[in-house]
């Protein structure tokens, strides 16, 4: 129904992206036609270059264009503290708080037998090798608060505690600014469980 | 905060697209990194080729890769009936009904003094030239049901009626399958105005 094969191709290409349905793909396509030719070429170049240049940090598996990511290169960070996250984007969320000065390790997933993700796929051996260097004293497991993330956290705790490393999990409860009325029962249960004495 | 200039560039490039905010741009970027290299190159090529190849039909200003769009080339279409739309995508919506067998003219906008869109920008002279060929008997104005679309419709009616051409406007009212409860007052007012006798 589109009157140009090139248009149809672009719509189909954009539809491969997550959250982009047929209507959005069509809207984006029409917008792209209205952009300056140079801008479109720049966007195309940005796509290809990002895919080509970006690789994983050999130490923590964060995304970087160099051998080591800037966090691993930063000698001012606390090398006794390691935070384990599922995805590189989770690092951004934690860095934004300005509260964490340690290092990271990115699993690129969580344990999931269904998806064929086991310890080897998550590069747990690489993590263990790093922990055996003996510098890290505490590991904060910041995997997602769902079945896979929790299972991964328990698995890691079982694996790392025998090494004499303190293993903690990020806290769960009500989001700040949230409304009790809208909390689901699982979050509410976790919030009750995680209650703390009020100190004056 | 992204640990790679190439990533930052891609996020910024994607943010130029309509409806893509910083979070979506970041999500798309991470997804693009996970795509096969060949797939990303294909997407980049689709972007550039769509922008390069697609132009406006010299007769109706629909999008096409040829001199005339397939609708203008189709001799089976009713050349006495012309539908005026704001955007090329509106043609898709009308064609989907299977109810219209006439031809089109695309304004690529609506009259809008604020945006500097006057009759010349909408290529009204090109439309008039076509109407003066004397083949077209009825013009259906299918501009959007808002202030600019309505103003454009009235402007066109004033311009075309003296040429002895029937000028009609698409009908407005409640959308089929819609719920009266959720209708806004303007739509409801139009629906009342457009009421018809029930014939048995």
pLDDT tens profile A4-23:
899 999 999 999 999 999 99
Q: What is the mean pLDDT of residues B116-123?
A: 93
Q: Does the pLDDT of residue B120 top 90, yes or no?
A: yes
Q: Does the pLDDT of residue B2 top 80, yes or no?
A: no
Same domain, A114 and A36: no
Residue A187 lies in a domain: yes
| pLDDT recorded at residue B200 | 65
| pLDDT recorded at residue A40 | 96
Residues of B in contact with A19 (CB under 8 A): 24, 27-28
Residue B65 lies in a domain: no
Find the CB nearest A1 among B10, B41, B95.
B95
pLDDT tens profile B63-87:
999 999 999 999 999 999 999 999 9
Same domain, A119 and A185: yes
Is residue A68 within 8 angstroms of chain B, CB to CB? no
Same domain, A81 and A141: yes
Pick from B94, B87, B92: nearest CA to B143: B87
pLDDT tens profile B156-175:
999 999 999 999 988 888 88
Is residue B70 within 8 angstroms of chain A, CB to CB? yes
CA nearest to A23 within chain B: B89
| pLDDT recorded at residue A1 | 59
Residue B59 lies in a domain: no
| pLDDT recorded at residue A200 | 65
Stretch 77-116 of chain A: residues touching chain B, C-beta under 8 Å:
87-89, 92, 95-96
| pLDDT recorded at residue A180 | 77
What is the CATH classification number for the domain harbouring A181? 3.40.1360.10
Same domain, A39 and A129: no
Residue A61 lies in a domain: no
Q: Which domain holds residue A33?
A: 5-53
Residue A68 lies in a domain: no
Instruction: Specify the pTM.
Output: 0.76
Residues of B in contact with A95 (CB under 8 A): 1
Same domain, A31 and A95: no
Same domain, B99 and B175: yes
Q: What is the mean pLDDT of chain A?
A: 91
Same domain, B140 and B179: yes
Same domain, B48 and B145: no
Same domain, B88 and B175: yes
Residue B144 lies in a domain: yes
Domains in chain B, number: 2
What is the CATH classification number for the domain harbouring B29? 1.10.8.420
Is residue A52 within 8 angstroms of chain B, CB to CB? yes
- Cross-chain Cβ contact B31/A18 below 8 Å: yes
| pLDDT recorded at residue B97 | 86
């Amino acid at each position: 129904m589109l009157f140009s094969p090139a248009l149809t191709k672009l719509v189909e290409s954009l539809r491969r992206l997550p959250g982009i349905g047929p209507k959005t793909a069509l809207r984006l396509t029409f917008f792209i036609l209205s952009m300056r030719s140079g801008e479109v070429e720049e966007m195309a170049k940005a796509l290809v270059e990002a895919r080509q240049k970006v690789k994983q940090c050999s130490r923590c598996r964060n995304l970087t264009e160099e051998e080591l990511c800037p966090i691993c290169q930063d000698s001012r960070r606390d090398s006794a503290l390691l935070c384990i996250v599922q995805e590189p984007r989770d690092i951004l969320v934690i860095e934004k708080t300005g509260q964490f000065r340690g290092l990271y390790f990115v699993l690129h997933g969580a344990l999931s037998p269904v998806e064929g993700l086991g310890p080897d796929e998550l590069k747990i051996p690489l993590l263990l090798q790093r922990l055996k260097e003996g510098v890290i004293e505490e590991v904060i497991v910041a995997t997602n608060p769902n079945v896979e993330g929790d299972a991964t956290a328990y698995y890691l705790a079982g694996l790392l505690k025998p090494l004499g490393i303190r293993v903690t999990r990020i806290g769960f409860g009500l989001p700040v600014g949230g409304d009790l009325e809208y909390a689901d029962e699982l979050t509410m249960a976790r919030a009750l469980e995680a209650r703390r004495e009020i100190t004056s």
